Structure 1
Amino acid sequence: MLGVIGDIHGCVRTLDALLERLFGEYDIHRLVFLGDIVDRGRYSKEVCDLIIDLRKSYEVTLLLGNHEDVMLDYFHSSLRYGPKQFMKLGGDKTISSFTGGRFDRELAQGKDVSLSAYRYFEPYMDFFNSAVICDSVNYDFLKLHFSHAGIGDGSGNGDDESFSPQFRFVWSRNTDKRKTDYFGYTMVHGHTPVVKIDPQINPNKPYINRGKKGEICSINLDTGCVYGYFLSSMIVDDNGDFEFESVKYKDKG
């Protein structure tokens, strides 16, 4: 069976609880992490260590989230986003986790510590660079396409078609407004917390976005764990039948 896990954001205790449930109740042989495993939460390093350890026993795919994209830009000085963007996205929490708080004072003063902190991240760079933009799986009656942000179909306001698909797969905010599938695939993504889509939607459960005829166009697994809601997963059996499992945020304190 396949387990697909939404945005973790350094919430290692919650991730551990979700994995315990998945492995205890399902015959999971493959895991897909939809990106944004770092930032905002306190335990980004511990989350990475846990996923790396899972790779020893399971097939694990890591997708590139916008938070990983900005983090790599920060340490490689690519200047696509600028050093302040990483901090705006909670990168200070990630640096604190990986360095044991050694640069907390400098970060609080707004200093760029990318050169000094890089040595703590260097052993993990192969892991971060292994993240892919997209992945997919085909079943007899269901085709799933995985990416961090999904991609809009032009029906949502502000869906800038001038950006490359690779960029939009990591950053798009319009996937939940899709009215069509993606070349026959249902898009499975995270990135935009369900609570921000529509106040009428249950923020604690994944959101199934349907087209005009009731067909499933996309599935959003970001249930806002780091904001105190839930960490969610999608479990797919070998026939393509799926269900969801979610656990309440457990990383407070």
Structure 2
Amino acid sequence: MKRTLVISDIHGEIELFERLLTDVNYDSSHDQLILLGDYVDRGANSRKVLEKVIELKSKGALVLKGNHEDMMIKALTTDEERYWKNWINRNGGRTTLESYGFTESEFVVPEDEEFNKPKLHSETLDWHLEFIQNLDHFIELEEYIFVHAGVHPNQPIKETAPYTLMWIREEFYSAYSGQKTIVFGHTPTKHLHGTHSIFFGKNRIIGIDGGAVFGGQLNCLELPSLEVYSVKSDK
């Protein structure tokens, strides 16, 4: 492999994702693509993004699970009201379900009614759900660790709960002092250094979530060169 290309937090933005892959001249026979999670929610085309991710994985891409996949799994595979409403009402789950052809009348439970989890039937959704349930939480190489949110600064990664790897924020990026460089998404880089560009921290952390779904940009980090590619949102 000549290059490693890392992308995170696509959030249903299929056009930006495909443009970025074109801009970097991605070639699965020469490049190692690593995707750090959050393929779904908020953006309009989560279904198409997952279809693309599945295709890319079949050609050799390494694909991790993000916290939005975690929320989607919990909402769709349990009967817990809090998981359902948290995903649908607060975290963009409704746009994900709409991308599979469902309407609000099929999945929104009125606040004044007793909660009964909506029954949704879609072979494609079931297939995609099975796919994301089986994704890994981190990739560790000689010099790098790739993870969705970050690592616990005081725990070996192999002993760290998957929840932490998908959800941690400030405790990680303010206190990490390990020898390997951590490449992560989850926390928009604008919160780390005020812009949507890739964040290169002094403590060997590299944040790549450019907040594409919030009007920012979708970033790609090339390794080992540290070259940066990005496509800007038109929102």
Q: TM-score range by the shorter chain?
A: 0.7 to 0.9
Where 1:94 maps in the other structure, the secondary structure is: helix
Where 2:52 maps in the other structure, the secondary structure is: helix
Determine what percentage of the aligned residue pairs are the same residue: 26
Residue of structure 2 in register with 1:188 after alignment: 183
1:244 paired residue among 224, 228, 231: 228
Distance 1:113 1:171 in 2: 25
Distance 2:174 2:131 in 1: 32
Unaligned runs of 5+ residues in structure 1 are 155-162, 212-216
The within-5 A match list for 1:96-245 is 96-98=98-100, 100=101, 102-108=102-108, 110=110, 114-117=118-121, 119-138=123-142, 143-153=143-153, 164-174=160-170, 175-181=172-178, 184-197=179-192, 201-211=193-203, 217-236=204-223, 240-245=224-229
1:85 aligns with 2:69: no
Distance 1:26 1:94 in 2: 28
What is the Cα deviation at residue 41 of structure 1?
A: 0.2
CA contact under 8 A between 2:67 and 2:167: conserved in structure 1? yes
What is the Cα deviation at residue 59 of structure 1?
A: 1.2
CA contact under 8 A between 1:178 and 1:209: conserved in structure 2? no
**Aligned residues between the structures:** 223
Q: What amino acid is aligned across from residue 167 of structure 2 in structure 1? A: W
What TM-score do the two structures reach when normalised by structure 2?
0.85
Q: What amino acid is aligned across from residue 230 of structure 1 in structure 2? A: Q
Q: What amino acid is aligned across from residue 8 of structure 1 in structure 2? A: I
Where 1:116 maps in the other structure, the secondary structure is: coil
Q: Deviations over 1:73-118 (max 9, x none)?
A: 11110649521111111000001102x2x32234455486653245
Distance 1:112 1:243 in 2: 49
CA contact under 8 A between 2:14 and 2:48: conserved in structure 1? yes
Residue of structure 2 in register with 1:37 after alignment: 39
Distance 2:181 2:149 in 1: 13
Where 1:145 maps in the other structure, the secondary structure is: strand
Q: Give the ranges of 4+ consecutive aligned residues of structure 1 lying more than 3 Å apart after TM superposition.
A: 24-28, 78-81, 106-114, 117-120
Unaligned runs of 5+ residues in structure 2 are none
What is the Cα deviation at residue 242 of structure 1?
A: 2.3
What TM-score do the two structures reach when normalised by structure 1?
0.79
